[in-house]
Structure 1
């Protein structure tokens, strides 16, 4: 007899897309009006047995009004989206009108801003129709966002602070359902996100020397508020860390540059049950990149790069039971004509 689990499988998937856009604007002293339409045709074809060819028509139309007066800027916009898939057993068409409001005030290097937006993310063709992964029952992900923040941008120093709150209906998440090697796209009924984001950087030059740094830190709580009667009510959404951050330092001298990057991800759960056995530990990686540019007499530019990824040989898992590579090296040479 034949073991079905060991049958040879060599499936092929082909995707392509065509995109077109048209836009126009009318500007006055304090008011600017803009209208635009984007249209995308895309398809997914496969030789999987009994699978159907599918193509999508996606159109987005935007009407925007921007009022500017003495550092104050107010933006009102309406976005209409129409997405229709054409195939056997296709997902329901999507027609939605979503608003956006943005206000900001600039005074010298300082900007105070806030916005409210109602937006959504439609499932991709892969999310809906990819074999064993996609589901035609998948719903669009709708998000209501509130954000308030402050920016400072000086000659050498810049930083930003943002506080935000999001309500996400039918959040699309990929999780292993039947086994670790077969992931599926599913909806969470209601996810609420509360977060704080800090970012900043410093750059300067001293003759042939240069320095550029950028740092980011995010504290974000993503919890499931779908059903108060469920035991998972208010549990953390899988693979959503509370803390994450990054640091990039780029040193330059003449045609040399040395860049180091630090990436950190905090603890997170692999499943919505939030059991201790499903808790993944925090991890970090340090990468180094040395770059040199050579300009030849014939005008050609040669760029040589040596990289060391995961310098500290960190042993970690981004996804449970899928260990990431340890320390590894890479060298590249690029020619510019």
Structure 2
């Protein structure tokens, strides 16, 4: 299984999606996030889902959360429509327990500890890798539930322009375009997009405590965004290659708020990164990566400015991959990260840095595969922390594969939890976890399937402590889950289905002991069907979510719901097609967060051109 490691090392620096070939031969996608080195999806010992550009366009996804909805183990909540706060809960862990990378650069708000997925432009995305399970032993803080890495369009090949225009319900319009090109040694892609929607009333709140958004503003809450992106690279020699990428997204969102919380925010996310890859010998690849991520937000009420917050995250990494034969790979590296906060609030501390040193071994011994990784982090605020992962796989001659893994992880407290004026607690310790996972995967006739069973125990969870009037390490949780995935083809219908069963139990002392963790459905199921009839393509998605609760006391229940989406397209030529999508066909009334509305039946029409 590890005989492709040397090939993988050569593929790694390009972060290419060239593994997706549209022909009669099935090619397993290459992933880099699970081990920070290139492997095929079937080869890696982690649970991984890859969303390609082809998947995004086939499903006519209109946002990053839309593209990721229904992935095994991933629950998504939204506070009232496009552009509103959107949270990801990966394998039942907290929304700030998922590490997010864009082209290898760590992004997110240093104050909130989360990433504004709703503001990321879907038109700039080439593919998304979702790794489920702890990855702190490779990436450090936040990767308790897993890692989500977004890769922007790379470019290459002949000059290829692209253009998309769409319109739909709630006065929604969007337009995007770009240009991709490349030669024998270089590549470039540039793109831009704009979206505008009138939206709908985001929250059915009341002017009373505990009533959702605590206000009554029954108006439409719109969203407007514009983005630009660029990525370019050049291979100077056979052993020196450089890559540069930039992404900027500006959003303006209206919401139901108040004179203290505001009712409009103008947000900007930006990431700039570069990488130099050196291959001094055929067995040694050295990669230096540097980047900066900005997260900025300005809040207004009735057009008047209220507050602003800006965070910056600088990162620098040096990684060395050393192949020992064709079946063994050793990775050694060091990461540096510096977070800084600025704005209208005065934090007691407004910057901190973290240095992490990590090592990994990937080995193949006949039918056995092994992954061992260890990391040491030295953080200016909380001191040092050590995490590790051990994984094993065994492949039978009939294609059946067994896997088992154990990993530890941690999450450093955010600046808000530590230093928010009048609220923060600088004595907080990191949240920490231990996870174990068992998996089996194989093929049956034309079907690919997998089953994964896992348990994660989290200690020192940060929650509000009434005795301190602020956050404290007082909670703990035990999360058990089962993920089942199958993909096949029946009578020219491509069929993909997955089921997640989740038992997210609060294990804290006190009245909430034994309750369900908030906003995690106990069951989710998705079924995708697609088929082509010459130039016509049709498909549909069935998504089912079980009940969840909106609060730790489990006093507020969110009912389960079922959504049906239908889609169709017609290709006038290989470069021009028109697409139509109906979401929530049966106009289901549901909520993913209490009081916050979700769209009813909506329709969108899109025209796509790509040379």
- TM-score exceeds 0.5: yes
Q: State the alpha-carbon separation in 1 of the partners of residues 539 and 355 from structure 2.
A: 41
Residue ranges of structure 2 left out of the alignment (5+ in a row): 1-257, 263-300
Determine whether 1:320 maps to 2:594. Answer: yes
Contact map agreement 1:240 1:269 (CA 8 A) in 2: yes
Match for 2:324 among 27, 32, 39?
A: 27
Deviation at 1:187, TM superposition (A): 5.8
Match for 1:272 among 552, 558, 581?
A: 552
- 1:81-133 deviation line (CA, Å, top 9, x unaligned): 3344xxxxxxx335211111101101232101110111123345576677999
- 1:266-322 deviation line (CA, Å, top 9, x unaligned): 1112122223xx1111112112222344447xxxx3343222111111100100111
Residue ranges of structure 1 left out of the alignment (5+ in a row): 85-91, 179-183
Report the counterpart of residue 247 of structure 1 in structure 2.
527
- 1:238-274 deviation line (CA, Å, top 9, x unaligned): 1122212211122223343323112221111212222
Q: State the alpha-carbon separation in 1 of the partners of residues 462 and 606 from structure 2.
A: 37
Report the counterpart of residue 305 of structure 1 in structure 2.
579
Determine whether 1:198 maps to 2:484. Answer: yes
Report the counterpart of residue 76 of structure 1 in structure 2.
372
Q: State the alpha-carbon separation in 2 of the partners of residues 203 and 52 from structure 1.
A: 58
Q: State the alpha-carbon separation in 1 of the partners of residues 447 and 571 from structure 2.
A: 27
- 1:133-192 deviation line (CA, Å, top 9, x unaligned): 98766653322111111101356311111221110113467x9x99xxxxx987662101
Match for 2:502 among 190, 200, 220?
A: 220
Determine whether 1:45 maps to 2:347. Answer: no
Contact map agreement 1:217 1:243 (CA 8 A) in 2: yes
Contact map agreement 1:127 1:135 (CA 8 A) in 2: yes
- 1:20-67 deviation line (CA, Å, top 9, x unaligned): 432222323553322133334444433x25457834534443211223
The alignment partner of 2:585 has SS state of coil
Match for 2:458 among 168, 193, 200?
A: 168
Q: State the alpha-carbon separation in 1 of the partners of residues 408 and 591 from structure 2.
A: 34
Contact map agreement 1:188 1:224 (CA 8 A) in 2: no
The alignment partner of 1:234 has SS state of coil
Deviation at 1:211, TM superposition (A): 3.0
TM-aligned CA distance change 1:61 to 1:335, over 3 Å: farther
Report the counterpart of residue 288 of structure 1 in structure 2.
566
The alignment partner of 1:202 has SS state of strand
Higher relative contact order (CA 8 A, sep 6+): 2
TM-aligned CA distance change 1:333 to 1:317, over 3 Å: same
Structure 1 length normalisation: TM-score? 0.78
| Greater strand proportion | 1
TM-aligned CA distance change 1:52 to 1:188, over 3 Å: closer
Contact map agreement 1:66 1:73 (CA 8 A) in 2: yes
Contact map agreement 2:462 2:475 (CA 8 A) in 1: no
Contact map agreement 1:109 1:154 (CA 8 A) in 2: no
Contact map agreement 1:45 1:52 (CA 8 A) in 2: no
Q: State the alpha-carbon separation in 2 of the partners of residues 129 and 263 from structure 1.
A: 40
Greater shift in the superposed pair: 321-330 or 244-253:
244-253
Equivalent residue runs for 1:227-246 within 5 Å:
227=509, 230-246=510-526
* CA RMSD after TM alignment: 3.3
Q: State the alpha-carbon separation in 1 of the partners of residues 420 and 535 from structure 2.
A: 47
Determine whether 1:98 maps to 2:372. Answer: no
Q: State the alpha-carbon separation in 2 of the partners of residues 132 and 214 from structure 1.
A: 50
Highest CA radius of gyration, 1 or 2? 1
Match for 2:436 among 146, 155, 180?
A: 146
TM-aligned CA distance change 1:203 to 1:258, over 3 Å: same
TM-aligned CA distance change 1:95 to 1:231, over 3 Å: same
Report the counterpart of residue 148 of structure 2 in structure 1.
none
TM-aligned CA distance change 1:330 to 1:39, over 3 Å: farther
